[in-house]
Chain A
Amino acid sequence: MKKYVIDLQVRSVEQLSPKHVLLKLTDDHPLPEMLPGQFVEVRVDHSPTTFLRRPISINFVDKANNELWLLVAMIGDGTRQLGCLHAGDVLNCVLPLGNTFTMPSARQERVLLVGGGVGMAPMLFMGGEMHRMGCEPTFLLGGRTHTDLLELDIFNRFGRVCVTTEDGSMGEKGFVTNHSVLNEHFDRICTCGPKPMMMAVARYAKQNNIDCEVSLENMMACGLGACLCCVEKTTEGNLCVCKEGPVFNVNRLLWQI
């Protein structure tokens, strides 16, 4: 897929929680083709301590409105600066980057999409694309507390939504791997979130002989596979998460699970 470096216009900035903003970006021309699992490297202007671009996963592509959605967790100076953007501002983006989640090969395939924290962002796009091709995904979304669970109304449009919170303030109490939906049968799992969560999900998948894809977020510089900074150890040696990933089948990783 051809990559672009483009200035996108910020159409809206919605504060979804005290630490999350949803940026809706658009362009005068149709946006380039993007697929679930891919990410964008955004340039952070006006943040003196932020030197490199920040990789942000694609939350959703609203083709009807020519919008790219980025869900940003405000963690450091760079992401906090992104939260200070206003409608009408410009955001310089390199996109689309990385590989994609594997789309179901048949409509009846039972796919579980597990998102933890801001890792739920790419699951919306994946679920939306599955919905578009006539599949019904099951979302399993986890957070520390109810304010971590975002965009639930839109998730609900695309499939069944199961929720856990560590403090029990919404859904079932505990971690995603404690949820009762895991008693059901699934053909495949895609997950994105904190590494301990993804490892627990991968362990569950392995024990139940389910194909499992994880989306990694190793620290990156170039985002293009040029600098070799973001490598992950795999069965094929060190691979760039930005180019060979961010999505990996867990069987390719050397995780001790």
Chain B
Amino acid sequence: MADLRVNIGRLALKNPVMTASGTFGYGLEFADFIPLDGLGGIIVKGTTLKPREGNDYPRMAETAQGMLNCVGLQNKGVDYFCSHIYPQIKDIDTNMIVNVSGSSPEDYAACAARIDALENIPAIELNISCPNVKDGGMAFGVTCGGAESVVKAVRECYHKTLIVKLSPNVTNIADIARACEAQGADSVSLINTLMGMAIDIERRRPLLSIGTGGLSGPCVKPVALRMVWQVAKAVKIPVVGLGGISSATDAIEFLMAGATAIEIGTANFLDPAITIKVRDGINLWLDAHGCRDIHEIIGCV
């Protein structure tokens, strides 16, 4: 049994396996399938200052080894989260991390400040990379200046571990990561979904209600892995890797590319118990290869 513990800044994880925002609800939806406290962290559904209805149906299209979604950050807002959801999840014995989104730096900061006050939420993941909302979201994540403005505003009022989730829809993701690091981010997570599209050829219309959506699943894994490798070399802060991870082998690839921890997203839809299987698979692999500590493989490539 190897030591799987890792740290993201001041945040201690019992193992590197977390869940990707928007694919795991608030964790409770999966409580019948896995022991939630067996995970390194649970990153809950994207939360905004004000409630959002999200985009119209249809919001999903299946693709080759993946799927497109344009949910558009449907959530009941941070007040509802604090009053109704937080009491249900605060005692789950793992790192409960809130994904925060907004439409202006002030918006992000106000939402983050509310969550800063919640004792059992030790970190937030700042979503500057949602491709499915017009007002903000990815707009901040595709330029260094945009990323800086949001991270700076949030860093001033948020005092715990700050992870910034990056968009792959950029020319040079390492530049964006460096900009976040310079403004005080404790970590960057990548990648959010790749912007894509699918068309119903009989109706001659896009399959998704807003035309485009974010692509996720095994089809994006090689792109994500390459970006994690590039970013891990470009910054000193820990990197959280995600994008199509569906097995322990996938997760180990990301760790070797330089990720300190990983998130599992779309794979939760195919197997609601996949997270624990990946954790156990990492452990088995380390044992089989004589590794006593997961740090022996992190960034080894």
Report A's interface with B, CB cutoff 8 A. 2-5, 43, 48-53, 94, 218-233, 237-238, 243
Whether B71 and A229, one on each chain, are in contact in the complex, defined by CB atoms closer than 8 angstroms, is yes
Task: Note all chain A residues with C-beta closer than 8 A to B53.
Answer: 237-238
Whether A227 and B271, one on each chain, are in contact in the complex, defined by CB atoms closer than 8 angstroms, is no
Task: Note all chain B residues with C-beta closer than 8 A to A5.
Answer: 33, 271-273
Whether A229 and B60, one on each chain, are in contact in the complex, defined by CB atoms closer than 8 angstroms, is yes
Question: Complex formed: what's the CA distance from A222 to B67 in Å?
Answer: 11
Question: Complex formed: what's the CA distance from A49 to B62 in Å?
Answer: 9
Known: A94-B272, A224-B272, A226-B25. A52 touches B57 (CB 8 A): no
Known: A5-B272, A52-B269, A224-B29. A219 touches B67 (CB 8 A): no
Task: Note all chain A residues with C-beta closer than 8 A to B65.
Answer: 51
Whether A226 and B268, one on each chain, are in contact in the complex, defined by CB atoms closer than 8 angstroms, is yes
Known: A51-B64, A238-B74. A229 touches B270 (CB 8 A): no
Partner of B58, one of A49, A219, A243: A219
Question: Complex formed: what's the CA distance from A53 to B266 in Å?
Answer: 12
Known: A52-B269, A53-B270. A228 touches B29 (CB 8 A): no
Q: How near does chain B come to A49, taking the closest CB pair, in angstroms?
A: 7
Q: How near does chain B come to A255, taking the closest CB pair, in angstroms?
A: 13
The 4 closest A-B pairs by CB, nearest first: A229-B60, A226-B25, A3-B32, A222-B269
Max count, chain A CB within 10 A of own CB: residue among B59, B65, B66:
B59
Q: How near does chain B come to A194, taking the closest CB pair, in angstroms?
A: 17
> Can you list 20 A-B pairs with a CB-CB distance of less than 8 A?
A2-B32, A3-B32, A43-B270, A49-B64, A51-B62, A51-B67, A94-B272, A222-B29, A222-B272, A224-B29, A224-B30, A226-B29, A226-B269, A227-B22, A228-B22, A229-B60, A230-B59, A231-B74, A233-B57, A238-B57
Whether, in the assembled complex, B108 has its beta carbon less than 8 Å from a beta carbon of chain A, the answer is: no
Q: How near does chain B come to A76, taking the closest CB pair, in angstroms?
A: 10
Task: Note all chain B residues with C-beta closer than 8 A to A237.
Answer: 53
Whether, in the assembled complex, B172 has its beta carbon less than 8 Å from a beta carbon of chain A, the answer is: no
Give the number of A-B contacts (CB < 8 Å).
91
Please provide the chain B residues from 235 to 293 with a CB less than 8 Å away from any CB of chain A in the complex: 266, 268-273
Whether B69 and A229, one on each chain, are in contact in the complex, defined by CB atoms closer than 8 angstroms, is yes
Whether, in the assembled complex, B9 has its beta carbon less than 8 Å from a beta carbon of chain A, the answer is: no
Whether, in the assembled complex, B145 has its beta carbon less than 8 Å from a beta carbon of chain A, the answer is: no
Task: Note all chain B residues with C-beta closer than 8 A to A232.
Answer: 57
Known interface pairs A5-B271, A231-B74; 19 further A-B residue pairs with C-beta atoms within 8 A, sorted by A's residue number: A4-B33, A43-B270, A48-B64, A52-B62, A94-B272, A219-B58, A221-B67, A221-B69, A221-B269, A222-B29, A225-B25, A226-B29, A226-B268, A227-B269, A228-B54, A228-B74, A231-B54, A237-B53, A238-B74
Whether, in the assembled complex, B24 has its beta carbon less than 8 Å from a beta carbon of chain A, the answer is: yes
Q: What count of chain B residues pass the 8 Å CB interface test?
A: 32
Question: Complex formed: what's the CA distance from A223 to B33 in Å?
Answer: 13
Whether A225 and B62, one on each chain, are in contact in the complex, defined by CB atoms closer than 8 angstroms, is no
Whether B33 and A222, one on each chain, are in contact in the complex, defined by CB atoms closer than 8 angstroms, is no
Q: How near does chain A come to B201, taking the closest CB pair, in angstroms?
A: 14
Residue of A nearest to B58 (CB): A219
Whether, in the assembled complex, B104 has its beta carbon less than 8 Å from a beta carbon of chain A, the answer is: no
Question: Complex formed: what's the CA distance from A237 to B268 in Å?
Answer: 25
Task: Note all chain B residues with C-beta closer than 8 A to A4.
Answer: 32-33
Q: How near does chain A come to B213, taking the closest CB pair, in angstroms?
A: 10
Whether, in the assembled complex, B63 has its beta carbon less than 8 Å from a beta carbon of chain A, the answer is: yes
Whether A228 and B71, one on each chain, are in contact in the complex, defined by CB atoms closer than 8 angstroms, is yes
Question: Complex formed: what's the CA distance from A225 to B272 in Å?
Answer: 12
Whether A51 and B54, one on each chain, are in contact in the complex, defined by CB atoms closer than 8 angstroms, is no
Whether B60 and A219, one on each chain, are in contact in the complex, defined by CB atoms closer than 8 angstroms, is yes
Residue of B nearest to A220 (CB): B60
Max count, chain A CB within 10 A of own CB: residue among B33, B66, B67, B270:
B270
Question: Complex formed: what's the CA distance from A140 to B291 in Å?
Answer: 65
Whether, in the assembled complex, B23 has its beta carbon less than 8 Å from a beta carbon of chain A, the answer is: yes
Q: How near does chain A come to B212, taking the closest CB pair, in angstroms?
A: 15
Q: How near does chain B come to A51, taking the closest CB pair, in angstroms?
A: 5
Task: Note all chain A residues with C-beta closer than 8 A to B66.
Answer: 51
Whether, in the assembled complex, B131 has its beta carbon less than 8 Å from a beta carbon of chain A, the answer is: no
Task: Note all chain B residues with C-beta closer than 8 A to A233.
Answer: 57
Whether B30 and A52, one on each chain, are in contact in the complex, defined by CB atoms closer than 8 angstroms, is no
Question: Complex formed: what's the CA distance from A221 to B33 in Å?
Answer: 17
Task: Note all chain A residues with C-beta closer than 8 A to B33.
Answer: 3-5
Q: How near does chain A come to B248, taking the closest CB pair, in angstroms?
A: 18
Q: How near does chain B come to A230, taking the closest CB pair, in angstroms?
A: 7
Binary per-residue interface labels of chain B (14-25) against chain A in the complex, 1 for a CB within 8 Å, 0 otherwise = 000000001111
Question: Complex formed: what's the CA distance from A233 to B56 in Å?
Answer: 9
Residue of A nearest to B273 (CB): A5
Q: How near does chain A come to B230, taking the closest CB pair, in angstroms?
A: 27
Whether B74 and A52, one on each chain, are in contact in the complex, defined by CB atoms closer than 8 angstroms, is no
Question: Complex formed: what's the CA distance from A238 to B53 in Å?
Answer: 7
Q: How near does chain A come to B131, taking the closest CB pair, in angstroms?
A: 15
